[in-house]
Structure 1
Amino acid sequence: MSKPIGHFTNYTINDGSLLESLQEQYGSTFELMSRREKLYLISAIATQLCDQAPGRCRDEIYMVGHQINSSLPQADREGLVEALTNQVRWGRSLSDTEELPMKQ
């Protein structure tokens, strides 16, 4: 079962925010958006967050992305989106000053 956007964000009822407007227009779990529209928003937000993040991606990560998209079933790709989102928000990541481990 989906949780409302307030569960994941700083939205509070009657705060007059964009989040409130989105909830009023598309429902508290975005149930009034199509699957494609939700995926587009995920892509747009992730692209912008990536562009703002310092550092660079290792070349091998581009290959990993290609392998994921060409080899994994849809359910596993969706699971990876969820797992990576959780890690971006709550997990530990290499900092910009740490040396990136290179693939052997």
Structure 2
Amino acid sequence: MSKPIGHFTSYTLNDGSLLESLQEEYGPTLERMTRREKLFLISAIAIQLCDQSPGSCRNEIYVVGHQVNSSLPVGDREGLVEALINQVRWGRSLSDTEVSPMQQ
């Protein structure tokens, strides 16, 4: 079962925020958005966050992206998006100065 926007964000009832407006317009779990609209918002937010992140992607990550999109079934791609979001938000990531295990 989906959780409401406030579970994932700083939204609180009657705070007058954009998050409150989104909840009023599209429902507490964004159930009044289509799947495509939700995926578009994920993409738009991710692109902007990526643009704000320092550094660059290793070339192999572009290859991995292609492999994921061409080889994994939809359910696994959705699960990978969820895992990546969890790691971006709560996990540890290499800094641009660290060497990844694949480069050693």
Q: What TM-score does the superposition give when structure 2 sets the normalisation length?
A: 0.95
Structure 1 unaligned residues grouped into runs of 5+: none
Deviates more, 1:91-100 or 1:76-85: 91-100
- Report the identity percentage: 81
Which whole-Å CA distance do the structure 2 matches of 1:62 and 1:102 have between them?
A: 15
Q: Describe the superposition over 1:69-103 as per-residue Cα deviations: whole angstroms up to 9, x where unpaired.
A: 00000000000000000000000001123234555
8 Å CA contact 1:13–1:20 kept in 2: the answer is yes
Count residues in correspondence: 104
State the secondary structure of the residue aligned to 2:87: helix
Amino acid at match of 1:22: L
Which whole-Å CA distance do the structure 2 matches of 1:84 and 1:102 have between them?
A: 18
Which whole-Å CA distance do the structure 1 matches of 2:70 and 2:97 have between them?
A: 32
Which whole-Å CA distance do the structure 1 matches of 2:102 and 2:80 have between them?
A: 22
Which whole-Å CA distance do the structure 1 matches of 2:17 and 2:96 have between them?
A: 32
Structure 2 unaligned residues grouped into runs of 5+: none
Amino acid at match of 1:9: T
What residue is the counterpart of 2:94 in the other structure? 94
Amino acid at match of 2:75: A
Which whole-Å CA distance do the structure 2 matches of 1:103 and 1:64 have between them?
A: 15
Q: How does 1:10-89 map to 2 (within 5 A)?
A: 10-89=10-89
State the secondary structure of the residue aligned to 1:22: helix
What residue is the counterpart of 2:5 in the other structure? 5
Q: CA deviation at 1:18?
A: 0.3
Q: Describe the superposition over 1:3-62 as per-residue Cα deviations: whole angstroms up to 9, x where unpaired.
A: 000000000000000000000000000000000000000000000000000000000000
Amino acid at match of 2:49: L
Q: What TM-score does the superposition give when structure 1 sets the normalisation length?
A: 0.95
